[in-house]
């Protein structure tokens, strides 16, 4: 166990969340304020993305509401030359890593150029297939080890993803090869409509690390301080050659699964309302206000700044020329197989007709 500010009973998430331990973390105000600003930007960007999807301007979108402290904490614990291996709900971490908002909009708008990050070139693109990124993260960590590089591969995944074979295989390999890889679980209590207790019978997901031969740590994923401190400790161990880490961040998915979902059909309003009281943004802002380092006027200034930043990104996204449909055939094969020729020809004709 590296650091565990909370008890380990996974069954009482509400009780865990109510144990506020902000002041036990030796974080300076500058770091907390910086984290809060990105968390707010992420939240406002997230709401904007939902509005863009509802008006047909991007495709299906997975909200990250409730996961902001996990994302920002994880990314702030990393060094820039580490590699982040995300899943689809990692907007917060990607913003900290330097992925641009318009790149995210391009991605969720169905344009592959959104994964061609101008900032963190070495980070992996979003992974939609559940858990497959876990073995990729091991491959990356293995390369670091072979090259004697002091870099760490940080893999993000959901609680449901820990039920996949890929995850078990990745943990096994990471432990046997003592790889510099850290897995961070956004344990948000749901896998689409399947609740946590029906997804896995283990009381805590970190027990899966124990089975693989290393130690995991469970933290309050709504508490930025807890996340950043714990992930940083695991990354430091991995960087020092002491093997893999697993952090289970207890959280709650405050949104629908995606814009294609309606969670009110399968979960209780009361449960959501209770979870909202543990909102990671409200908690961090309360902490800062209690220290006299945040107030309504700073909040208003921050909101205005975020809206300007988001509006610029949306305009850039909307002004990006759409790629030709035939570009979907690029970079797939050195030589296009004959069976795709008729599709290619059909698209070309269609495009000429559209002109």
Ligand X SMILES: Cc1ncc(C[n+]2csc(CCOP(=O)(O)OP(=O)(O)O)c2C)c(N)n1
Residues that bind ligand X (CB under 6 A): 89, 128-130, 158-161, 186, 188, 190-192, 253, 257
Q: Positive or negative, the Cα torsion across 22, 5, 123, 191? A: negative
What's the DSSP call for residue 118? S
352 contact partners, CB below 8 Å, separation of at least 6: none
Question: Which x/- pattern over 153-172 shows residues binding Mg ion (rule: CB under 5 A)?
Answer: -----xxx------------
**β-sheet bridge partners, residue 154:** 84, 182
Min dist CB 189 to ligand X, Å, is 8
Which of ligand X, Mg ion, none does 192 bind, CB closer than 5 to 8 A by kind? ligand X
Which of Mg ion, ligand X, none does 102 bind, CB closer than 5 to 8 A by kind? none
Min dist CB 355 to ligand X, Å, is 36
Binding positions for Mg ion, 119-158, rule CB under 5 A:
158
Answer yes or no: are the C-beta atoms of 10 and 218 closer than 8 Å. yes
Question: Which x/- pattern over 173-202 shows residues binding Mg ion (rule: CB under 5 A)?
Answer: ---------------x-xx-----------
Q: Is 66 in the site for Mg ion (CB under 5 A)?
A: no
End-to-end CA distance of the chain: 63
Closest residue to Mg ion using C-beta atoms = 158
Closest residue to ligand X using C-beta atoms = 158
Which of ligand X, Mg ion, none does 130 bind, CB closer than 5 to 8 A by kind? ligand X
Min dist CB 257 to ligand X, Å, is 6
Measure the CA–CA gap between 278 and 18, rounded to whole angstroms.
Answer: 8
Min dist CB 100 to Mg ion, Å, is 26
Nearer to ligand X among residue 255 and residue 285 (C-beta): 255
b/e 240-259 (16+ beta carbons within 10 angstroms → b) = eeebbbbbbbbbbbbbbbbb
Cα 176–182–186 angle (5° rounding)? 125
Min dist CB 81 to ligand X, Å, is 27
Report the phi/psi class of residue 121: left, alpha or beta, with left for phi > 0 and alpha for psi in -120 to 50. Answer: alpha
Q: Which helix (H) or strand (E) holds 183?
A: strand 181-187
User: How many CA atoms lie within 13 Å of 214's alpha carbon, on the beta-carbon side?
Assistant: 27
Nearer to ligand X among residue 84 and residue 317 (C-beta): 84
């Amino acid at each position: 166990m590296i650091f565990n500010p909370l008890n380990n009973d996974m069954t009482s998430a509400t009780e865990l969340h109510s144990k506020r331990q902000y002041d036990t973390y030796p974080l300076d105000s500058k770091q907390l304020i910086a984290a809060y600003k990105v968390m707010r930007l992420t939240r406002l960007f997230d709401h904007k993305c939902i509005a863009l999807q509802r008006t047909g301007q991007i495709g299906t979108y997975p909200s990250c509401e409730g996961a902001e402290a996990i994302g920002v904490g994880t990314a702030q614990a990393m060094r820039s030359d580490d590699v982040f291996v995300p899943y689809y709900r990692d907007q917060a971490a990607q913003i900290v890593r330097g992925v641009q908002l318009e790149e995210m909009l391009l991605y969720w708008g169905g344009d592959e150029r959104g994964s061609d990050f101008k900032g963190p070139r070495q980070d992996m693109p979003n992974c939609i297939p559940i858990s497959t990124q876990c073995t990729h993260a091991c491959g990356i960590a293995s390369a670091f080890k072979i090259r004697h590089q002091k870099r760490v591969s940080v893999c993000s995944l959901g609680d449901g993803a820990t039920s996949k074979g890929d995850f078990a295989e990745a943990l096994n390999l990471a432990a046997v090869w003592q790889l510099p890889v850290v897995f961070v679980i956004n344990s948000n209590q749901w896998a689409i409509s399947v609740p946590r207790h029906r997804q896995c019978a283990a009381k805590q997901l970190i027990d899966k690390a124990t089975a693989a031969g290393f130690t995991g740590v469970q933290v309050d994923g709504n508490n930025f301080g807890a996340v950043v401190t714990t992930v940083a400790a695991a990354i430091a161990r991995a960087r020092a050659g002491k093997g893999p880490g697993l952090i289970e961040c207890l959280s709650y998915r405050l949104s629908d699964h995606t814009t294609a979902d309606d969670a009110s059909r399968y979960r209780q309003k009361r449960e959501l309302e209770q979870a909202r009281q543990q909102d990671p943004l409200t908690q961090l802002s309360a902490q800062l206000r209690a220290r006299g380092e945040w107030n309504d006027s700073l909040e208003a200034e921050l909101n205005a700044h975020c809206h300007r930043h988001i509006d610029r990104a949306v305009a850039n996204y909307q002004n990006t020329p759409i790629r030709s449909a035939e570009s979907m055939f690029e970079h797939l094969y050195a030589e296009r197989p004959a069976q795709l020729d008729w599709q290619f020809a059909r698209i070309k004709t269609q495009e000429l007709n559209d002109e």
